[in-house]
Amino acid sequence: MSTEIGFTIDQMQVGMTRSYAKTLTETDIVLFAAASGDINSVHLNQEYAEKTPFGGRIAHGILTAGVVSACIANKLPGVGTVYLGQTLKFKAPVRPGDTVTATVTVKSLDADKNRVVLDTICQVAGKTVLEGEATVLAPK
């Protein structure tokens, strides 16, 4: 059984899954650009972005990956989890206003080292936009 704030290493099982959804707003994109320093015009300038293969503005890929981080921090394993690593494959663009649903699934557990490997995926309207794998230290 989970605690109200997530799961400890001994409460998790291979195959467990949790999801978290967030709509990436104009404000999110502008604030992320300011915080990260990534002011690429494909994210901020509609006129420029319309001339790219995307045909319009897209959210930062790492901002999309941040929804995975939120899912790990808030859902599985939850509070107290520490990120050790993450692989990412960007499969499709995310646009301002899109709702990104991140889903994490326990792939393997190493109770001796307190490590969990999670399959990670983000989807927009059922289409995969990001996939990868995270390694985390789970709460005890």
Domains of the chain: which residue ranges? 9-137
Show Cβ contacts of residue 69 under 8 Å, excluding neighbours closer than 6 positions: 83
State the Cα–Cα distance between residues 58 and 54, nearest whole angstrom. Answer: 8
State the Cα–Cα distance between residues 115 and 126, nearest whole angstrom. Answer: 30
Residue 3 pLDDT class (50, 70, 90 cuts): very low
Check if the beta carbon of residue 41 is closer than 8 Å to that of residue 49. yes
- What is the pTM assigned to this prediction? 0.94
- Domain 9-137 falls in which CATH fold? Thiol Ester Dehydrase; Chain A (3.10.129)
**pLDDT at residue number 2:** 42
**Mean per-residue pLDDT for 17-43?**
98
Single out the residue of 40, 37, 60 nearest to residue 49, CA to CA. 40
Amino acid at 133: E
